[in-house]
Amino acid sequence: MPTPSPEPTTSPPWTGGWHAGARHLASPNFGPRPAQARVDLIVVHSISLPPGEYGGHAVQDLFMNRLDWDAHPYFQGIRGLEVSAHFFIERDGTLWQFVDCDQRAWHAGASRYRGRGQCNDDSVGIELEGLEGQLFEPGQYDTLARLCADLALRYPIAHVAGHEHIAPGRKRDPGSGFDWPRLQHLLAWDRQQFPAGTLG
């Protein structure tokens, strides 16, 4: 079992809102946060393109607006979509960053959590390579926990939630295969920082 309370990176993990431990691709899909935004929420998502297929660079291409819409029949249903997340974690734990965390990524859509709407305004979006309802890899949890700990060094993080919790009925990711107790154990954060009902 991995050790609880992951240590933040020993060297300064941030250059502005860019994480030093990530591979960087600067997505054009972002905007400014509202002037008084308090970035206190981490939103966990899952994504794979096509759904259930891992590897390759389709997710990166989607966030960079360069996905070949004709490469797979599934892509026709999302043709023209312009979205982004701040981070993407591959199955082996490799970390990618697409948007400066000081900026607003386009990951949450219509959403509401902890009494506030428009969660894109004051959250950091993290996509895990995976499919809702299926399991995620140990390396993904390790990278996610380290990233959450590093985010808490720079921002007043008070909540971690899934897309399904901020957009219930509309979104279902990361889904039942995501192990919330495992993430809470790795971080050793207070139970109140996690969605109700996820820790048993």
pLDDT in tens, the chain (200 residues): 334 444 544 567 999 999 999 999 999 999 999 999 999 999 999 999 999 999 999 999 999 999 999 999 999 999 999 999 999 999 999 999 999 999 999 999 999 999 999 999 999 999 999 999 999 999 999 999 999 999 999 999 999 999 999 999 999 999 999 999 999 999 999 999 999 999 98
Taking the model in full, what pTM does it have?
Answer: 0.94
pLDDT, residue 4, reads: 46
Beta bridge partners of 44: 126, 162
CA 114 from centre of chain = 18
pLDDT in the model for residue 95: 98
Q: Is-catalytic flag, 127?
A: yes
Active-site position among 90, 127, 132, 164: 127
Task: Report which secondary-structure segment, H or E, holds 15.
Answer: strand 14-15
The confidence score (pLDDT) of residue 200 equals: 87
Q: Compute CA distances 7 → 66, 82, 90, whole Å.
A: 36, 35, 21
> CATH for 36-193, among 3.40.109.10, 3.40.80.10, 3.30.1330.60, 2.40.30.170?
3.40.80.10
In order, the DSSP letters of 43-60 are EEEEE-SSTT--SSSHHH
